[in-house]
Structures are given as structure tokens and as C-alpha cells.
Amino acid sequence: MLSVSESKSVFEKIKLLLALSTRNLWRQKRRNSVLLIAIIIAVSGVIVLNSLIRGMQTQMVEQAVSGLSAHINIQSAKFRDDPWVGHGFIEDSSKLDDLFLKQRTLRGWTTRLHTPVVVMSERETRGAFLVGIDPERESISFINDLHIEGLTLTRTLDNSVIIGRALFDQLRTKLGHRIVVTLQNVQGISQDIGFRISGVYDADRNGIEKQYIFTGKRALQQLLDTTLISEIAIRFQSEKDAQQAQNFIVAAFPDLDVATWQQLNPLSAFMFEIVDVVIFIWLCIVLLTLVFGLLNSLLTAVLERKREIGIVRAVGLRSSMVLAQIMLESVLLMVLGIVIGLLFAFLFLFWIHEGIDLSMFAAGVELMNLSPKIVPALQLRDVVLVVGTSLLLAVFASLLPAYRSARINPIEAIRS
Amino acid sequence: MKSNSHTLIRFDTVSRVYGRDATLVHALHQVSVEITSEEFTAIVGPSGCGKSTMLQLMGLLDQPTDGQVYFEGCSTTTLKSRQLADLRLHKIGFVFQDFNLIPVLSAIENIEFPLQLQGTSGKIRRKRAYDLLAKLDIEDIANRRPSDMSGGQQQRVAIARALVSDPVILIADEPSANLDSQTTQDLCDLLRTVNQDFAITIAVASHDPLVMEYARRRIHLLDGRINKDEQV
Ligand SMILES: Nc1ncnc2c1ncn2[C@@H]1O[C@H](COP(=O)(O)OP(=O)(O)OP(=O)(O)O)[C@@H](O)[C@H]1O
Ligand SMILES: [Mg+2]
């Protein structure tokens, strides 16, 4: 334990160290302001870019889980292999209600009936997927947010279809016209069904527009004379909630194949996973270059101040205090750079908080399942990571210079 | 000599050798000497005779390669670096030839520096530093940085800093080397005042005849040995 007078003397020493450090930093205005600017650019650059990458990451996950797969997607193993309606399963509504109604982390769930079809208009023929949905339950997916020309589906008994813009253009048909789909029914027999196009939807992604035709699930079941469904899609409040519930759901459907969005969108999942690694590597590269700048500057400073360090040692400053003083200089400069850098980063992020448009590079962006607009997502843990790593590196960079300064022999320093 | 004086520093066959083999230099060779409290000693001799080496050993900045240095009766050979630093801080005041001050601190802050290291509180510190400035007649430069002071002023501030923590001995290595004769004269007067009025022991190395004049004891060194030790 420190006595009152001892702690007071420690306080005086800290004050002295702070005064010496700040003034020594100030003494080399030019050199240190260049370094400071480098730190500011590095810190604000890393924070801004990390936020954008995080924004992309969030968006990527959002895209994936708002897709048909949702967080967790249940199909029969056979259907995954060969998506024929006959590979569907019976919907046990009371079991699903029992299972899901109590789940607080659940955002929603729905069931769908899928079938591959050949679509014919009066002019063209294309392959696509016909998906029977329950519109009232589709708030968990992108379907509810689709921009639609014409009428959307509102009930599970709706027997018209909505069709993606891209496919619609390819089929060279008109709103309100009829299309005929050919599919294999539950009996394995080819069956033609006519549908009226009630709406045309625009999706962010071309792939969806070309692939999916939606109709009411109940209506499709009636047309196919079946009660089977192809999948259950479950959406949670967050990724973490989904992970926690996964085992429980697997256990609840022992005969079915329970897949996560990561398994169904391996590319997105991979991108999601490597973002953390990318952020860390990029942080290390930027900050390591800073460390060398800092190291160089401090080594020069120690060399320049050799004589005065000799004097203060002769007067009675302990070498540990010399060590602390040099380390303090490094940390002070870094702290100042971090504070200003964060400020700049926050200002910039606020300026672009509505998102920046990357449509110039949209082709590449779409490939990664992204919309062209990226909204930055500032995460506390990224800020903590940047601040923590920078401070650590500031200490690290000062180790050698501080050690050298503490080793300075006062006699030699004064003699030279 | 006054009755209450006592031995402050004792050299017992002290040698200090620099370098090794071909570059070996015997800076001090088996020197035995005592510095008594309240003495004003000049260490004189030609360049390279070992004056600085002797002062550094007295001031606990250096350790002998052979023999023993006793400070206030205690052997210093076994002391650790931080213990030596603390002894210097509390017991010894240094003045060197030039570049004595910490460039980023003002005169008053330079003087306060040792007190701050000792943990003296701000008020007391400032008062003692100002008292010294007044006694040394340099109040007007209290807030100047060393780069804005003359050589004589710098040496006065250095002496003030050396005195502020009430040391038992003031060690000065050629303090007048870069000063003109008038300033040297003033400095010598100041050293005499410090010695007589503050009752602080002084050991000063110098080539300067004027400085030798002021000293009451002269130790003549030649090639690392004591050639002559005279009281005046
Ligand atoms: N660090 C060192 N390394 C090698 N030799 C040294 C070192 N310090 C002193 N010497 C040598 O020791 C001898 C005594 O040096 P010292 O500095 O004590 O002499 P001095 O009397 O103070 O001389 P001056 O009047 O020039 O200051 C000299 O020959 C010097 O070259
Ligand atoms: Mg010398």
C-alpha cells in the first residue's frame, strides 16, 4: 500500500513525465505532425473501410436470410436432391404452431410448395420454378417487399401468378395474359396448368426475376390435388438466435433435412466468415507501417536527446522513468491520433450514413449477392479493435527506443 | 577546520581504467583521498589527468574498477543503479561544463525538477525555486527556456537546480569553461557564497586560475595520480 505522501509523490512524477513528454513531442513539431497525420489517416481510413465492409457483410447476410432459404430451411432430403413435388412432406400445422409459437427469438416462419416448371407464353418457352406461397406469412422474406406492377398475391388461395420482370420480358407476354406451365404432378405424370399473370415484380437480383414464379400455396395444392409441401422456412431475429435454435429444430424434424442459410448459400457464408479475417489483416498491415514510422521517429529522438537524457540521469532520474517517458511520448501521440482519427471517421460515416452507391461496379457487386448501395455499419467491436491494437502497437513501437534511452550511460552522454 | 566537519567522501586506493588491452587507459590510479564537509576543493591538472573521472566517481555517476568509494561512510560498490540515482537526487548537486539544463523546461521548471522527482508538492517546490532564483539574482529569467539564456545565466540556473534539493556536495566539472572572465568571476563569487553561506561542500574541476584562487584546497592530479594536495 502507498501512503498518502507516497501516492502524492507518484502523482507529481506522473505530472512531470507528462510535461516532459508533451513538450518533447511539441519540440519536434514537423516530424511529429507528419506522424500524427499518418496516424489520423490510418485510423480514420481503417474505421471507415471497416464500417463499409461490415455494411456489406450485414447486407450479404440480410440478402441471404431474406431469400427463400431464410435462416433455417427444412426440406426432405430427397427433394433437395430432386425437387419434385412428390418428394414433399405433409404439413403438420398443429405441430408447427406448437413448436414455433413460443419461440421468442423467432421472426416468423412459412411453408411453401415448389416445383420446377416449363413456362409457355403465346410466344416463348422458358424453364423456371413455380413456388406456392402463403402471402400472409411471407413477411420473413423478400417477397413481401417486392415492387410489383399490377396486383400482388394476398391470399394462399390466390390462383394467379406474379412473375419476375426478366422472365416476363423473355416470355414477351403482357400483364393479364395467361401462361401455361408444364410440371410433373404428384403421380409423376406431366400436367399442364394455365395461370393468369396478375403482377410483374422487380427484384434487386436478376437471378430471382428469371427463376421464380409465385402463386398461392393452397391454390397450387388444389390444382395438383395434394396436401404436400416442399419446405418450411424459418427466420429468426438474428443470426445468433438462429444458431442457438438450430439443434432444437434438427431434433424436432428427425426425418427431414434441416439446413442453415450458410449451407444453402456457401458463397455468402464464406464471405461472411472471411470479413473478420480481412478486417484484421488489413488493420495489421496499416498499423504495422505506422509502427515503423513511430519506431523510426522515436529512435531518432532518443539519439538527438542523448545528452539531455544523460543530464537528467545525472541529476537523479531513474532509468525506469526515462523508459516510461519515451513510452509515454509514443502513447500520447497515438492517443491524439486515435481521437482525431475517430472524429474524422465518425464525421465521414455520418455524411455517408444513407449509403454510398457502387452501381459503377454493380456487375461485380451483384455477383457477391449485394445490392449496389452500401450502408456503412459502425460496430463497437471494430472501434475497440482499432483503438486497442493501435495503443498496443504504440507501446510495442516504443519498446526498443525506450530501452535504448534507459540504457544511456550519463557519463558517456555528458562527455560526448 | 571547523570542529563539526566530517568526512563526506573517501577514496580508498581507487582506480578507474577505461578500455582494454591496446586501448587501456588508467584514468585514475590507486588514489586515496578524503573530501571533508564544507570544503571548497579544486581539482586541477592538465587535460586528461583524470579530473572528470574523479568527480564522476565522487558524484556516484561511475564505479571504480578497483578500490572503494565511501559516501558518508558507506561503501557504494554494492549499490544498485536506482539506489545510486536516488543518492544523486537527494545528496549531490551537479554542474557540468555546458548544456546543463533540460531544453524543454523553463528556468524555474529546471530548478524544480529534482524536487518534482522527490515528490515535493507544487507550492513548496515553486517557493523554494523562487527563493533560490532570488538569492542567485536571476529572477527575471524565471520563465525563459535555456535556449533564451546566456551561458552565465544557464550556469546560474544549473547551480540553483543543483542546490534546490539541499545536497551535501556540489560537484562542478569545468563550470566556467565556456564563460568570459567577468562571468567566471561572478560564478566563483557565487560558488564561494554557496560554500560559506549555505555551508555546502564544493568540489570543482578546472583549468582556470581564477577558480583555483577561490578554492581553499587544491588537489593536483597528474596522469591519474595525486601529485600535490594543498590547503590554502
Ligand atoms: N569513456 C572513456 N573511454 C575511454 N577513455 C576515457 C573515457 N573517459 C576518459 N577517458 C580517458 O581517461 C583519461 C582521463 O580522462 P578525464 O576526462 O578524467 O580527464 P580530465 O582531467 O577531465 O581532462 P579534461 O581536462 O580534458 O577534461 C583521459 O586519458 C581520457 O582519454
Ligand atoms: Mg574533464
Query: What CATH number does the domain containing B190 carry?
Result: 3.40.50.300
> For B113, which of A6, A315, A319 is closest by C-beta distance?
A315
Q: How far is CA B79 from the centre of its chain?
A: 20
Burial class, B188, CB count within 10 angstroms (exposed 0-12 / middle 13-18 / buried 19+): buried
Going from the Cα of B147 to the center of ligand 2, the distance in angstroms, rounded, reads 24
The Cα diameter of chain B in Å comes to: 55
Classify residue B148: in a domain, yes or no. yes
- Minimal Cα–Cα distance from B116 to chain A, Å? 6
Q: Is the pLDDT of residue B213 over 50?
A: yes
Dist. CA A232 → ligand 1 center (Å) = 91
**Would residue B88 count as lying in a domain?**
yes
Cβ neighbours of residue A161 closer than 8 Å, sequence gap 6 or more: A130, A179, A195, A196, A197, A198, A213, A214, A215
pLDDT band (50, 70, 90) for residue A10: confident
Whether the per-residue pLDDT at A364 is higher than 60: the answer is no
Query: In angstroms, what is the C-alpha Rg of chain B?
Result: 17
The C-alpha atoms of residue A262 and residue A259 are separated, in whole angstroms, by 8
Identify whether the C-beta of residue A35 lies closer than 8 Å to the C-beta of residue A293: yes
Please say if the pLDDT value at position A128 is more than 70.
yes
Residue A366 has pLDDT above 60, yes or no: no
**What are the backbone dihedrals phi and psi of residue B39, each rounded to the nearest 5 degrees, phi first?**
-80, 155
Q: What is the mean pLDDT of chain A?
A: 89
Looking at the domain assignment, is residue B126 inside a domain?
yes
Chain B residue numbers with beta carbons less than 8 Å from the beta carbon of A318 are: 81-82, 85-86
Say which of A12, A307, A314 has its CB closest to residue B88: A314
Q: How far apart are the first and last CA of chain A?
A: 42
pLDDT at position A360 is 62
Nearest protein CA to atom 17 of ligand 1, as residue: B52
pLDDT at position A198 over 50 = yes
Residue A213 pLDDT: 96
pLDDT confidence of B2, banded at 50, 70, 90? very low
Task: Round to whole Å and give the CA distance between B63 and B79.
Answer: 10
Lowest model confidence (mean pLDDT) among A135-149, A219-233, A265-279: A265-279
**B148-187 CB burial, b ≥16 within 10 A, e <16:** ebeebbbbbbbbbbbbbbebbbbbbbbbbbebeeebbbbb
> What residues in A contact B83, CB-CB < 8 Å?
none
User: Which one has a higher pLDDT value, A92 or A112?
Assistant: A112
Domain around B171: 38-62+79-231
A397 in Cβ contact with A294 (< 8 Å): yes
Q: Is the dihedral of CA A388, A394, A397, A403 positive or negative?
A: negative
- When the pLDDT of each residue in chain B is averaged and rounded to a whole number, the result is 91
A115 backbone dihedrals φ, ψ, rounded to 5° = -155, 140
Interchain proximity B88–A315, CB inside 8 Å: yes
Residue B72 located in a structural domain: no
Please report whether residue B127 resides in a domain. Answer: yes
DSSP A209-254: HHHEEEEEHHHHHHHHT--EESEEEEEESSHHHHHHHHHHHHHH-T
User: Which residue, chain included where needed, has cell 557564497?
Assistant: B193
As a whole-number percent, the residues of chain B with pLDDT over 90 amount to 71
What was the pLDDT predicted at B114?
92
Phi, psi of B228 (to 5 degrees): -155, 140
A266-304 vs A380-407: helix crossing angle, rounded to 10 = 30
Picking from A209, A245, A299, the residue whose alpha carbon sits closest to that of residue A109 is A245
Q: Is B35 in contact with B229 (CB distance < 8 Å)?
A: no
Q: How many angstroms separate the CA atoms of B10 and B71, rounded?
A: 7
pLDDT at A99: 84
Residue B5, pLDDT score = 81
What is the Cα–Cα distance from A182 to A118, expressed in whole angstroms? 5
Q: Which H helix or E strand runs over A339?
A: helix A319-351
* Rounded mean pLDDT, A136-155: 92
Whether residue B49 lies inside any domain: the answer is: yes
pLDDT of residue B12: 95
pLDDT for residue A372: 67
Which residues in chain B (177-216) have CB-CB distances under 8 A to chain A? none
Measure Cα distances from A331 to A25, A155, B193 in Å.
11, 64, 45
To which residue does cell 430451411 refer?
Answer: A73
Judge whether A375 and A354 are in contact, CB under 8 Å.
yes
* Listed residue (A306, A294, A392) closest to A31, CA to CA: A294
pLDDT at A133: 96
Report whether A370 contacts A357 (CB < 8 A). no
> What is the DSSP secondary structure assignment for residue A135, as one 8-state letter?
G
Report how far residue A296's alpha carbon sits from residue A301's, in angstroms, rounded to the nearest whole number: 9
- Residue B184 reports pLDDT greater than 60: yes
Q: Secondary structure of chain B in the HEC alphabet?
A: CCCCCCEEEEEEEEEEEECCHHHCEEEEEEEEEEEECCCEEEEECCCCCCHHHHHHHHCCCCCCCEEEEEECCEECCCCCHHHHHHHHHHHEEEECCCCCCCCCCCHHHHHHHHHHHHCCCHHHHHHHHHHHHHHCCCHHHCCCCHHHCCHHHHHHHHHHHHHHCCCCEEEEECCCCCCCHHHHHHHHHHHHHHHHHCCCEEEEECCCHHHHHHCCEEEEEECCEEEEEEEC
Cell of A232: 418450411
Residues facing residue A113 across a β-bridge: A132
Pocket of ligand 1 (CB under 6 A): A 412; B 18-19, 25, 27, 47-53
Please state, as a whole number, how many other Cβ atoms lie within 10 Å of the Cβ of residue A39. 24
- Hey, are the CB atoms on A314 and B90 less than 8 Å from each other? no
List the single best residue of A5, A32, A304, A315 to mutate versus B (max B Cβ within 10 A): A315
**A316–B116 CB contact, under 8 Å:** no
Residue B25 β-bridge partners: B18
pLDDT of residue A1: 55
How far is the centre of ligand 2, averaged over its atoms, from the C-alpha of B199 (Å)?
26
Centre of ligand 1 from the C-alpha of residue A146, in Å: 89
Residue B32 is predicted with a pLDDT of 95
Residue B1: per-residue pLDDT: 44
Q: Give A17's contacts (C-beta < 8 A, 6+ positions apart).
A: A321, A324, A325, A328
| Interface touch A308/B102, C-beta < 8 Å | yes
At B76-119, the pLDDT tens digits run 999 998 899 999 999 999 998 887 899 999 999 999 999 988 88
How many domains does the structure of chain B reveal?
A: 1
Smallest CA separation from ligand 1 atom 31, residue: B48
Interface test with A, best of B84, B98, B116, B161 (most A CBs within 10 A): B116
Q: What is the pLDDT of residues B24-55, one digit of tens each?
A: 999 999 999 999 999 999 999 999 999 999 99
Give the separation between CA A324 and CA A350, rounded to whole angstroms: 38
Amino acid A371: pLDDT: 65
- Distance from C-alpha of A154 to C-alpha of B169, rounded to nearest angstrom: 99
- Evaluate whether residue B11 is within a structural domain: no
pLDDT in tens, B132-150: 898 888 889 999 999 999 9
> Ligand 1: which of B17, B18, B31, B174 to mutate, judged by most atoms within 8 Å of the beta carbon?
B18
Instruction: Determine the pLDDT at residue A62.
Output: 85
Residue A14 C-alpha, separation from nearest chain B C-alpha, in angstroms: 10
For the CA atoms of A57, A60, A62, A65, the dihedral, rounded to the nearest 10 degrees, stands at -130
**Separation in Å, CA B52 to CA A228, B42, B191:** 102, 12, 18
Angle between helices A319-351 and A29-65 (to 10 degrees): 50
Q: Is residue B200 part of a domain?
A: yes
Lowest-pLDDT range of A156-160, A220-224, A372-376? A372-376
Counting ligands in written order, the one closest to the CA of B56 is 1
pLDDT at A4: 67
For chain A, what percent of residues have pLDDT higher than 90? 60
Higher pLDDT, B37 or A5: B37
